[in-house]
Structure 1
């Protein structure tokens, strides 16, 4: 564990860190697969979707709703299941309805008393606007892939966030749930990193400065 240096800015990944991405995503996938009477496990489907999405975000920038639809279409094709445009629309429409983890809103309100807060997220502004309503906490800055015209793990979303919060990298702490998309890049920029590990499968060799199971433990680190 690294020596703690108090930051002035906290940046956050959103989906999977603040918002229960897995539950929301699994629910819509289950509905789609059930409708199609598909013989594929939810675990296999979700894993393939994640792989397809990662490859698409590494390409030329395109709106996130297109990424979602294309990832779903490729995943269904992988399992020889027919794709209907309504499937993609259902996935896009579900995302703004996904709820924050139970402890997150109160934790963020507490952290806001002492730190500048910023979201860095692989989404677009329209979806994020609805998500922020569900979180119910005002962030000082929000950076989406739509703003930076790039998706994490590209450096550009992080660099845009650092520019907007006007802080040296040594004063930024990034709180996230993924090693490859977030921790690896933030560490290269000289930011401190916290992994919120809720038991999800992780890939990548980067190691966070701190790892906790929920935001209650993050609060303890940050002197609450």
Structure 2
């Protein structure tokens, strides 16, 4: 009997493979202004606004971060500074994998080609993928698709 063997195994990158540290970045920049529950609310708002931004027409991820942070600051009565959004965006390529990811990916990559479909930008994702410790057959970005997940266009 033939065993099913997938042609590829696909992964999301940020959050699934890469430790996506948006909350930590927000705490670093705004923690001195907001304590405890207010900071937690700020982070929830920032996450929600990022989702809302990617549900709109495609725009560069720097704009997604900028717009979401600006909206979050306004909602939380915090002064918005464009350089804070740029700082957060520029941190993304420095983030590495969750601790248990590289060994498992390397083992899997020996058997089945790996593919990632990411909401990242083409200029940023190579740095993150290089930290994963396994070869990828393909790295597909929202920028190339002209849409962010979960838009169907991102998968077409």
TM-score (norm 1): 0.64
Structure 2: gaps (5+ residues) = none
User: Alpha-carbon deviations, 1:71-122, whole Å to 9, x = none?
Assistant: 1111111101111111011101111111201111111111111112100011
Describe how 1:43-192 pairs up with structure 2 within 5 A: 43-159=40-156
**Could you say which residue in structure 1 is the equivalent of 2:18?**
19
- Off by >6 Å, runs of 4+ in structure 1: none
**Could you say which residue in structure 1 is the equivalent of 2:27?**
30
Structure 1: gaps (5+ residues) = 160-224
**Could you say which residue in structure 1 is the equivalent of 2:7?**
8
Instruction: Give the superposed CA RMSD.
Output: 1.7
Cα offset, 1:34, TM superposition? 2.9
Q: Secondary structure at the match of 1:48?
A: helix
Name the structure where strand makes up a greater proportion of residues. Answer: 1
Q: Secondary structure at the match of 1:102?
A: coil
Q: Hey, what's the Cα distance between the residues in 1 that align with 2:38 and 2:97?
A: 26
Q: Hey, what's the Cα distance between the residues in 2 that align with 1:34 and 1:48?
A: 15
Contact kept in structure 2, 1:56 and 1:71, CA below 8 Å = yes
TM-score (norm 2): 0.90
Contact kept in structure 2, 1:143 and 1:157, CA below 8 Å = no
Q: 1:41 to 1:5 in 2, by over 3 A?
A: farther
The total of aligned residue pairs comes to 153
Q: Secondary structure at the match of 2:140?
A: strand
User: Alpha-carbon deviations, 1:132-186, whole Å to 9, x = none?
Assistant: 1222322101111101000001112222xxxxxxxxxxxxxxxxxxxxxxxxxxx
